[in-house]
Amino acid sequence: MLKNDLVDTIREKALWMRRRAFTMVHDAQLGHPGGDFSAIDIIATLYFGVMRYDPKKPDMPERDRFIMSKGHATGALYTALCAAGYYPEDWLKTYMQPQSKLNGHPNRNYLPGVETNTGPLGHGLPVALGIAIAGQMTGSDYRTFVLTGDGELQEGSNWEAAMSAGNRKLGKFTLIVDRNRLQQGMGTEETNGLDPLDDKFRAFGWDVEVIDGHDVGALVNALSEPPGGRSKPLCIIANTIKGKGVSFMENKASWHHGVPNAEQYNTAMEELV
């Protein structure tokens, strides 16, 4: 697929994911739409432009692995898995309903395509590190991707994992930081400052790229494996906007776990075109 066609396809998938995720949150009156919307372009790029997988064989050994460490953003993950063909669209209507497979946090025991259960922040990066080390030890060529929130990096376990990844020179390991600068209640820098985040990861032995997390072309370039591979793990700091795409949600900490009323839902659907 030509790059321009690929970018257009990813953008179309991301728009569908936003509309579907917001409908899920509206119908359930539960969810985390702000973080869903900051991450959707990243996740759409991974699933529809970068990763190797087969929804008919979700456990095939050669698949690339994706760990959704910011596990509260299930609207983004579930819509991606659905659009990728892991399960039918009707399942999305059951989001957070009693006995639904689509819990508030992803559970690999219920859903194909989920590599590990996540939700408690700070756990996804260490788990992904273990997966990447296993690939290195067995000589496998799969890639391991993990998406964290930026507020999540205030958890110390992430930095233990970052130090180990740099030391082991895990060239097939990629961390994407959803850098929307907002966490529950306030800004990340007001809570426990992270900057200069890029220099921190370089000091731990990582390659680092800082990009616009809503620029699909830039995401494709950054996430694609270069010829000859890498000799270090890669950290992509993706500058994003919480609530991206809906005017009344953008850059509002209250939409970390806000849910729309009928009027807000209709306004969002008019804007998401």
CA distance linking residue 255 with residue 223, whole number of Å: 28
pLDDT at residue 2 in the model? 61
Q: Which residue has the tokens 């994706």?
A: 66
Task: Report the chain's mean pLDDT, rounded to a whole number.
Answer: 97
- Average pLDDT of the segment spanning 179-206: 94
CATH of the domain at 260: 3.40.50.970
Burial 80-92 (b: 16+ CB within 10 A, else e): bbbbbebbeeebb
Q: Is 29 left (phi over 0), alpha (psi -120 to 50) or beta?
A: left
The DSSP call for residue 187 is B
Ranking 81-85, 181-185, 230-234, 239-243 by mean pLDDT, the lowest is: 181-185
SS3 label, residue 112: coil
Cβ–Cβ < 8 Å for 91, 82: yes
| pLDDT per position as a tens digit, 45-69 | 999 999 999 999 999 999 999 999 9
Nearest to 83, CA basis, from 38, 17, 8: 17
| pLDDT per position as a tens digit, 95-132 | 999 999 999 999 999 999 999 999 889 999 999 999 99
The DSSP call for residue 254 is G
SS3 label, residue 253: helix
Q: Which residues 6+ apart lie within 8 Å of 64 measured at CB?
A: 50, 51, 52, 53, 142, 143, 144, 145
Domain of residue 94 covers 3-271
Based on the structure, what is the number of domains in the chain? Answer: 1
CA distance linking residue 244 with residue 246, whole number of Å: 6
pLDDT at residue 185 in the model? 84
Length of the chain: 273
Cβ–Cβ < 8 Å for 242, 38: yes
Residue 184 pLDDT exceeds 90:
no
Residue 242 pLDDT exceeds 90:
yes
Residue 4 pLDDT exceeds 80:
yes
In the chain, % of residues over pLDDT 90: 96
CA distance linking residue 49 with residue 198, whole number of Å: 25
DSSP H or E run through 173: strand 173-179
